[in-house]
A and B are shown apart, each in its own frame.
Chain A
Amino acid sequence: MPDTATAVREISFGDAIREALAEEMRRDSHIVLLGEDVAEAGTPFKVVKGLVEEFGTSRVIDTPISEPGFTGLGVGAAMTGLRPVIDIMFGDFLTLVMDQIVNQAAKVHYMSGGAWKVPMVVRATMGATRRSAAQHSQSLHAWPSHVPGLKVVIPSTPYDAKGLLKTAIRDDNPVIFFEDKISYTKVKGPVPDGEYTIPFGVADIKREGRDITLVGTSSMVQVALGAAAMLEEIGISAEVVDPRTLWPLDEKTLVESAKKTSRAIVIDEGSFRYGVTGEIASVIAEGAFYDLDGPVRRIGAMHVPIPFSPALEDVTVPTERDVFEMARTMCNK
């Protein structure tokens, strides 16, 4: 927990994001926020509400519904002295800005031999179960993680969200920052009053355990913690590890935890196939093979477009029960 903590408050995930933005914008006048309905509306999720009142419309800027336009503009602004924070209301719309992120932002520094840099943050939402159907529910964080030149952040708690967003804004590289929509109001946690940042590439052990490692990302950290509580009741001690950033990835902490417990499950809300669970499972398998009791297992979203009907949608995302059952089987209980 924070070493500079003075008073510690319970705030929501969304409030933590807003605090990080406000504090950084007070600190550095080169930070501007661009996105659809970010000003007076504060986005549909109300996460940035109040910022326009403090920083004005020259810094909290409502854009047209034009994701490639304002993201591309952000790349150029970042190259020429500003630190834009781009708001992609629904992470699904990342598909619209892939050229700006993948071919432009991620490549500028390398292609120019280090001559130009792109200190830009793209905030995008993720997460299903809001009954929003296939185009407003995806978790696409595996995509930017596949692209060298980008950094990818995926916090699970208010404390991590605030500290990591401040680090993202101060980073000289393009950072894609994923925020779970449900967590905005549902997840609350302790956040100190004082200033702090969290470095990239440092995983956090959310719960210590001996028998099995549960690696979770974003809202799946809560799922893993819930499963760990259920497992405790049947005598299984689960360790929950949150990588917090997908790139850079803290391979050491993941491997060490798996070596200690000898079993691992990776849980992520992205589609199961060709995604984050596969990458992290391979890191653990390669690094901890001789200490493992069995194969690393994975739980991701079902490989279907996310359906609308609650009866259908709920079966597509990993649950505490899924994790509990798999862990119990792996521990022979």
Chain B
Amino acid sequence: MTTAARQAESGVGTAGGSATQDQPYVRMYRQMVAIRLFEERANDLYTRALMPGLAHLYIGEEAVAVGVCEALNRDDYITSTHRGHGHCLAKGAAPNLMFAELLGKEAGYCKGKGGSMHIADPATGNLGANAIVGGGAGIATGAAFSSKYLGTKQVAVCFFGEGALGQGVLYEEMNLAQLWKLPVIYACENNLYNEYTHCSETTAGDMLARPAAFGITAEAVDGQDVRAVHAAATRLVERARRGEGPGFLLLHTYRYRGHHVGDVAREYYRPKQEEQQWMSERDPIALHAEWLIAEGLADRVSLDRIEAELVIDMDKAVEFAVNAPYPDPDKVGEDVYA
């Protein structure tokens, strides 16, 4: 069944699929709330032992995925990471098909063969979440190569965490992208922790000096400010689309939860006080809500209504996934070869 057909059958649209046309900044709010609600439910499914494997939650980093993906067209490409639910949703994935994949169900985006770390969806340009750190670099750069070769004007965004700054292939791809002026944006989400290790212990020198060494246009952005992310992403995406070459975004953000759901006792690598501070002072959803209200683009009631609608949608999506059948074991050998 195609993605569109499965979506139609389940009767649940994409995270951004509001019946009413949102003002762009309100839409960004909606998208961020959708991701957070999705992740809270993923956490719940995981702790109820309904979700196999591992759950790497994106909570706290929503402004990064939304700010970047709102600067893209539907047919632009992304590659995502093991912490990829936010990217997939922000690019337009349907929550019900994502939940189904998280639970290993046949109706999922990958027919249950990929799981949480491998959501892929051609309909939204999602080349796949990748569980090898830095694993998306070649794929995103190759997609940009195709775009340039075929003259389609598509842009590819490679999302990766600051942990991928330790992977050599990232620099090989950045070198090729700049040599050949490919329309690719390297979006580095610096959530400060390479799994359980602070990035200061793993990363020598200045992060931004790395793209600069290749002559790649780079910007550092407050990753908790969705408007700032969106503005910077738009600048780099538009110049890439004009054929002016790759860009690099360094997005300062924070992973509220552990490396994965089971990473609960984490005081040995980061203090609770630090987590509290980010959550209370730097929350991307709260900050953006305040701004929307101050600017008169929304009021508390309308924002609460958005959240209430999304809660209904997300609960429906979870219900769809929980009730969906597992794949027939006979299908284990399908899709090995095209």
Apart from the given pairs A32-B149, A72-B139, A113-B120, 13 other A-B contacts in the complex at a CB distance below 8 Å: A68-B168, A69-B172, A69-B175, A70-B176, A74-B138, A74-B142, A77-B142, A104-B130, A104-B135, A109-B337, A111-B110, A151-B337, A173-B338
Binding-face segment, B15-23, B111-119, B205-213, B225-233: B111-119
Size bin of chain B's contact surface: 35 or more
Nearest B-chain residue to A112, judged by Cβ: B120
Chain A residues numbered 117-176 whose CB sits less than 8 Å from any CB in chain B? 117-119, 148-149, 151, 172-173
Contact A113 B110 (CB under 8 A): yes
Given A69-B175, A111-B113, A113-B113, check contact A75 B142 (CB 8 Å): yes
- Does any Cβ of A come within 8 Å of B122's Cβ? yes
Which residue of B121, B128, B176 is within 8 Å of A66 (Cβ)?
A: B176
* B161 within 8 A of partner (CB): no
Q: In the complex, what residue of chain B is closest to A114 when comparing beta carbons? A: B335
- Least CB separation from B184: chain A residue: A76
Residue of A113, A118, A119 touching B335 (CB-CB under 8 A): A113
Chain B 325-337 per-residue mask, 1 if CB under 8 angstroms from chain A, else 0: 0000000001111
Contacts of A70 on B, CB cut-off 8 Å?
172, 176
- Answer yes or no: B186 CB below 8 A from chain A CBs: no
Q: Do the beta carbons of B109 and A77 come within 8 Å of each other?
A: no
A77, closest chain B residue (CB): B142
Query: Would you give 28 A-B contacts (Cβ < 8 Å), ordered by A?
Result: A70-B172, A72-B142, A72-B173, A76-B79, A76-B139, A76-B142, A76-B143, A76-B145, A76-B156, A77-B149, A78-B142, A79-B139, A80-B127, A80-B147, A81-B146, A82-B146, A104-B130, A110-B113, A111-B113, A113-B109, A113-B110, A114-B334, A115-B3, A115-B109, A117-B338, A149-B336, A149-B337, A173-B337
Most chain A CB within 10 A, of B77, B137, B149, B156, is at B149
CB within 8 Å of A: which residues of B?
A: 3, 77, 79, 108-114, 118, 120-122, 127-128, 130, 132, 135, 137-147, 149-150, 156, 168-169, 172-173, 175-176, 179, 334-338
The answer to whether A115 and B122 touch across the interface, beta carbons within 8 angstroms, is: yes
A68, A72, A82, A118 interface centre (most CB from chain B within 10 Å): A72
Residue of A nearest to B108 (CB): A113
Given A99-B135, A104-B139, A113-B111: A77 and B335 interface contact (C-beta under 8 Å):
no
Q: Quick check: A108 and B142 within 8 Å, CB to CB?
A: no
Enumerate A33-76 residues with CB–CB distance to B below 8 Å.
Answer: 58, 63-64, 66, 68-76
Q: Which residues of B contact A79 (CB under 8 A)?
A: 127, 139, 142-143
| Complex alpha-carbon distance, A23 and B144, angstroms | 26
Q: State in angstroms the CA–CA spacing of A173 and B139 once bound together.
A: 15
Closest beta carbon of chain B to A146's beta carbon, Å: 14
A329 to B199, CA, bound (A): 64
Smallest distance from the beta carbon of A150 to chain B beta carbons, Å? Answer: 9
Contacts of A81 in B (CB 8 A): 146, 150
Residues on A with beta carbons closer than 8 Å to the beta carbon of B145? 73, 76-77, 82
Determine whether A183 belongs to the interface, using a CB cutoff of 8 Å to chain B: no
